Structure 1
Amino acid sequence: MSADKRNALGRGLGALLNDSEYVNGTVAKKTSPAVAAPETEGLKSVNAIKINEIEVNPFQPRTEFDEQALQELADSISVQGLIQPVTVRKTGPRSYQLISGERRLRASKLAGLTEIPAYVRTANDQQMLEMALIENIQRENLNAIEMALSFQRMIDECNLKQDELGERVSKNRSTVTNYLRLLKLPPAVQSSIRDGQITMGHARALVNVEDAAKLLFIHHQIIEKGLSVRKVEELVRELQKTPAKNSIGKPTNKPSFQAQKIQSDLASKFNSPVKLKVGQNGKGSIEIPFLSEDDLNRILEMLDW
């Protein structure tokens, strides 16, 4: 393969069309260097836009990108160019904001491209958010927490009700509700969902546990013992039947809101069902149970012991 042909492949869509301009679904002759090609708008028009003129989408629901997958895409783009255009909106004479295609944009930068093909659309902030969310749901397989955060953002910023949101993303209201409930889980549990340590099925069982200490205990058991969703559901039912008791076997008085908050925060930090006991005189104790010697070492490391 000649050097000219390799360079053509690296330039992407225009090169694949023999350096012609692709406008309104047809191939047009490339303009001379002295005359700039007119910029067109709409999803049937593709424009070559400089990468350094494109800013990322502030409404992008995806927060993490697989570095290895990005590099693989970049390697492909280096050889064949970017075949599928990104979508942008114009924000100034030489500035654009990405609507969808951040993964392709990142990979194009890694591949060393200076310009990429793009559709130019007119969109307001609400449309930006909706298009970015829908594009990611359809193409990028958001994890459950990213999906839940995206749904909540659309409700808050676009003033949508849950049934209206369901219509936008082609999901029924109960599915939307199940995702939104995940945001009520402690940060440690949300992180496990995001990282794939526990499944959506596990999470749906955990959201029914109101006691934070019990919830985090079950969460730790799922990861430690690899519990199935059915086993977690059984464990939740058993723990829900068991009231908290003090040392002489009687139900304890309900702790204050402040004590509950501290206990919940500590349990989340140590990923363990921490018990906080506070007497009427202000004295008390903090109990951090451990399940094994390895678990003890984990807690001691967090305490810088």
Structure 2
Amino acid sequence: MAKAIKKQALGRGLSALLKDPENDIKSIEDNNADKVVGNIIELEIASIEINPFQPRTNFNEDSLNELATSIRELGVIQPITVRKTAFNKYQLISGERRLRASKLVGLETIPAYIRIANDNDSLTMALVENIQRHDLDPIEIALSYQRLMEEISLTQEQVSDRVGKKRSTIANYLRLLRLDPIIQTGIRDGFITMGHGRAIINIEDLDVQTNIYHQIITENLSVRETEALVKKYQEGVGNEKQSVLKKESQFVVSEEDKRSIGSFFGAKVDVKVGNNGKGKISIPFHSEEDLNRIIKLLKD
């Protein structure tokens, strides 16, 4: 325990050093740079701005609140990483969930690693670190790979080396971006899996892609069943090609309508419609209090 307290005191001491105008560190060659770079330092949260290169766009509110509770009880266990942009000004490289949760708790400082890097290095570090996370959805990962290729001018082989993944894995993620935007949204929202998306991508016609997508949802098709459906369409077995082109039911609930319903209940609802036109709406709740809130909305 004494050792941990000593480390925190050191972090506060280095923080004071960084706020001294006479010791403004702008590059790795500057005086005292070796004391700052690579060390854990307590930084004022107000001095940290969000990284505009952050590839992650969706933050689960429940997960964020759980992290905030953990930070309130245990503190920030894993430091964030920032880069210095100006005197006592920093830009986030990685750790946005930790930073957001710390703000929710009301912390004024947060432990951080300081890096001195140009924009390209910052973008590369942010993208690579975020790709390694387990809670990014497949589309977010694909977009991160695409940004590494387009904005840093890396080849698929170079991206493979940077993130430690096989080139074929990189290619499979990037192919998801050829899906119709509605289907990409479906993957991000968890209505279908990456496996479903990889099967659908073998169809070039976007209208057929979306029809198969709706059929997967309404009939709850597995990845293997989806692959068989796509194969039959491609082979033109019997009238399968025509059946795939047809609407999977008498009507289709649009993604916009689903979002409207979800907005009303304050939850991500699941709407399914069968071939006979009948369907169901599933409304998730996370506690008794949340359930009572939904019931009150229905009564009102």
TM over 0.5: yes
Residue 196 of structure 1 corresponds to 190
Q: Tell me the alpha carbon deviations over residues 198-251 of structure 1, each in whole angstroms, 9 at most, x when there is no partner.
A: 1111111100001222211111111111111111111011112339x9xxx9xx
Q: Which runs of 5+ in 1 are unaligned?
A: 1-12, 250-267, 272-289, 296-305
- How many residues matched? 242
TM (norm. structure 1) is 0.70
Decide which of 154, 167, 170 is 1:176's aligned counterpart.
Answer: 170
User: In the alignment, does 2:223 pair up with 1:229?
Assistant: yes
| Matched position secondary structure for 1:21 | helix
RMSD of the alignment, in Å? 3.5
| Matched position secondary structure for 1:98 | strand
* CA pair 140-115 structure 1, distance change in 2 beyond 3 A: farther
Cα drift, residue 195 of structure 1: 1.2
CA contact (8 A) 2:15 2:42 kept: no
Name segments (4+ residues, structure 1) moved above 3 Å: 13-19, 28-32, 34-40, 268-271
* CA pair 56-72 structure 1, distance change in 2 beyond 3 A: same
User: In the alignment, does 2:10 pair up with 1:21?
Assistant: yes
Distance in 2 (alpha carbons) for counterparts of 1:150 and 1:29 = 34
Cα drift, residue 74 of structure 1: 1.0
CA contact (8 A) 2:143 2:174 kept: yes
CA contact (8 A) 1:205 1:233 kept: yes
Q: Could you say which structure has the higher helix fraction? A: 2
TM (norm. structure 2) is 0.71
Decide which of 141, 145, 154 is 1:147's aligned counterpart.
Answer: 141
Residue 98 of structure 1 corresponds to 92
Cα drift, residue 94 of structure 1: 2.1
Residue 292 of structure 1 corresponds to 276
Residue 77 of structure 1 corresponds to 71
How do residues 113-192 of structure 1 correspond to structure 2 at under 5 angstroms?
Answer: 113-192=107-186
Residue 41 of structure 1 corresponds to 36
Identity of aligned residues (%): 49
| Matched position secondary structure for 1:61 | coil
Distance in 2 (alpha carbons) for counterparts of 1:160 and 1:118 = 29
Q: Which runs of 5+ in 2 are unaligned?
A: 24-31, 243-251, 256-273, 280-300
Cα drift, residue 174 of structure 1: 1.1
Q: Which amino acid aligns with 1:145?
A: I
* CA pair 15-167 structure 1, distance change in 2 beyond 3 A: closer
Decide which of 207, 229, 242 is 2:236's aligned counterpart.
Answer: 242
* CA pair 62-210 structure 1, distance change in 2 beyond 3 A: same
Q: Tell me the alpha carbon deviations over residues 72-121 of structure 1, each in whole angstroms, 9 at most, x when there is no partner.
A: 11112112221221110111112110011111100100110011111110
| Matched position secondary structure for 1:69 | helix
Distance in 2 (alpha carbons) for counterparts of 1:127 and 1:220 = 41
Residue 284 of structure 2 corresponds to none
Q: Which amino acid aligns with 1:224?
A: T
Residue 44 of structure 2 corresponds to 50
Structure ID, larger Rg? 1
